[in-house]
Amino acid sequence: MNNKLKAVVFVLILLIPTYLAVAAYVSSQSGKVEDSRSVVKMSILDPDGNIYTYSQDEKQDTAEAVRAAKSEIEFMTAMNKNAVQQTAMPDAIADAKTFCVTYDVFHSTCVYNYYFTDDPGAAFFEDPTGDIYKINAEDASAFLCKDYAACLYNGSEYPVLKIGEAVVTPKSLDWRYQLFNGTYRPMEVTTTEDMHSYRMNARLSMSFNLEPDVINIEVYDGSEMIYKDNYTNLSQISITEQKQLRFHIEAKWYEVNGKEGQGEAAYDFMATVNAPASFYLNTNSITNGDFCMITVKDKPEDAIVQFTSEPDLGYTPTFVEDGDYYRALVPVSCEKEAGTYTFTLSCDGVTQELTLNVAPKEYKESAYNISQSIVEKTRTEATLASFDDIMRPVAQSLSVATDHMFHGTFTQGVPDSVADWLTTGYGRWRVINGGTRYQHMGVDYLAGVGTEISAVNDGVVIYVGETDLSGVTVVIEHGLGLKSWYCHLSEAAVQLGDSVAKGDVIAYSGATGFCDGGTAHIGLSVFDVPVCPYTYWENEVEFNNP
């Protein structure tokens, strides 16, 4: 071979990679990805939302990762190349799951949708141009054995141990799931040698998403083993105070008919176990319109107290941290029937029933004659709605988030000389000018404009303002959701956020809003449920401190 011919051959050999790259680029621009050399990166989005990414960028990944990525990209592009074009998408994909694969090719991307079931003879894909292809059965079989195809198999759902909402990472987990051909494939699962710590309720409750065929548990209090048995008898351990316990659990899932996964796992962890929560009523009997108090002892800080009532009270208590306890006031509205109410409370795996007897109370009716012009200005559908829009958020708020501020008995909030001039009491039915009838939810006094109005107990001012219905208004929160309301004032003597003591002057009576002349309206509510103040003028609110 002469030198010129050798030179031509040499140049052609040098240009082969360039020709191949150009061919791959041209192919990619047509919408088909059949040459792995044109793919810089490939991302597979499985039907469960998991993403598997493979990159051939040697600058960003390790040599081992690049080799693994190259292998997967070569497999997928070869599968594309071996597929046979179809005239339309067949009905066979109706039950198929979709894998969305994005190929980064030079300076563009191509998105393919692949449709697979556990039948390798019914696998298809749609390329970016919308053309449909049937995947070679051999290629489909290989795909069905890949890690990213695990979601196609029910057995790929591996066991998860949970304590409450916390997932316990196993020390070891050997899990295998059954493939379409009957063989089993091992699954990679995150494990740890670290001893993690969890919070557990007094019943030592835990759960598996897949019930083990065999489960053995060892529990240690320090170096002493206090339990060695199966899960069924675990509740026999009596927890009366907070403890730090160590758990060792071994579980097995056998290969039996109907199961598509098998394996075994071991778990080692610490758990802070709290004493069981307990619930107490401060009284077993109240009168319609009053409230009771529920105290919770040993409630974990992040545990939620569930409450139901039979008959239904239509009220969900809010439990507030109060010293060493959590407490909630439970009002029985004057609109509720008298009788026996059964409260069911649950917290951190403990359920307890409390019984409250509610005695009836008769609410009388009286006429309320007032200038019609005042009615039309201050008590209409519009002013009632406006009052509700403004004041309901105030009533439902909890500005005093911990501890109660009230103590002893409550005052009436007016001077002794005015207390005898009570004109309309709590719960009384009012008939306005012989027409509209409604139930009065506070106490009204005949009070000359400018009479000093005082705080009925210690608290924090959470509202100072004015509405058409209530006139100048002050609201004080006393803790645990208990609030006092002062309406029809001429002016307030406090500002939002002020702390006040029982007996402090907070406002002056007036004739604002829906009233006829100098009036002081003072009410109590538990959040947005009005309650009767009479009981608390003479009796202190009882606290259970078990």
Query: Residues of CATH 2.60.40.10 domain(s) within the chain?
Result: 282-359
Residue 317 has φ and ψ, to the nearest 5°, of: -65, 150
The average confidence (pLDDT) of the chain is: 91
3-state helix, strand, coil in the chain (%, to 5): 20, 40, 40
What does the pLDDT read at residue 341? 97
Whether omega before 159 lies within 30 degrees of 0, making that bond cis, reads no
Q: Which ranges of 278-427 does DSSP label H, i.e. alpha helix? A: 372-378, 381-396, 416-419
Output the pTM of the full model. Answer: 0.64
Strand 519-526 vs strand 499-500: parallel, antiparallel, or unpaired?
A: unpaired
Considering only CA atoms, which of 327, 330, 339, 320 is closest in space to residue 279? 327
CATH code of 282-359, in short, is 2.60.40.10
Q: b vs e for 94-124, b when ≥16 Cβ sit within 10 Å of the residue's Cβ?
A: eebbebebbbbbeeeebebbbbbbbebebbb
365-538 CATH pick, 3.40.47.10, 3.40.50.300, 2.70.70.10, 3.40.190.10: 2.70.70.10
Q: Which residue has the higher pLDDT, 107 or 75?
A: 75
Please, which pLDDT band fits residue 284 given cuts at 50, 70 and 90? Answer: very high
The per-residue pLDDT for range 332-389, each reduced to its tens digit, is 999 899 999 999 999 987 899 999 999 999 999 999 999 999 999 999 999 999 999 9
Give CA–CA dist 387/413, Å, rounded.
Answer: 23
Per-residue confidence band for 20, with pLDDT thresholds at 50, 70 and 90 = very low
Q: How confident is the model at residue 16 (pLDDT cuts 50, 70, 90)?
A: very low
With cut-offs at 50, 70 and 90, classify the pLDDT of residue 2: low
Rounded to whole angstroms, the Cα distance separating 539 from 529 reads 20
> For residue 422, what are the β-bridge partners?
445
From residue 528, how far is each of 145, 244, 249, 273, 288 by CA, in Å?
61, 42, 49, 37, 16
pLDDT at 199 over 90: no
Q: Note the pLDDT of residue 5.
A: 45
Please determine, for residue 23, whether its predicted confidence score (pLDDT) is greater than 80.
no
Across the range 240-257, mean pLDDT stands at 88
pLDDT tens string 148-177: 999 999 999 999 999 988 999 999 999 999
pLDDT at 303 exceeding the cut of 90: no
pLDDT of the residue at 214: 94
Enumerate the CATH 2.70.70.10 domain ranges in the chain, comma separated: 365-538
> Do the beta carbons of residue 387 and residue 469 sit within 8 Å?
yes
Of the segments 83-97, 348-362, 447-461, which one has the largest average pLDDT value?
447-461
Can you tell me the distance from the alpha carbon of 401 to that of 238, in angstroms, rounded to the nearest whole number?
Answer: 34
Residue 89: predicted pLDDT: 87
Sign of CA dihedral 193, 194, 198, 200: positive
pLDDT-based confidence at 27, cuts 50/70/90?
A: very low
**What does the pLDDT read at residue 31?**
53
Fold of the domain spanning 25-152 = Immunoglobulin-like (2.60.40)
Question: Is the confidence at residue 238, as pLDDT, over 90?
Answer: no
At residue 443, the pLDDT reads 97
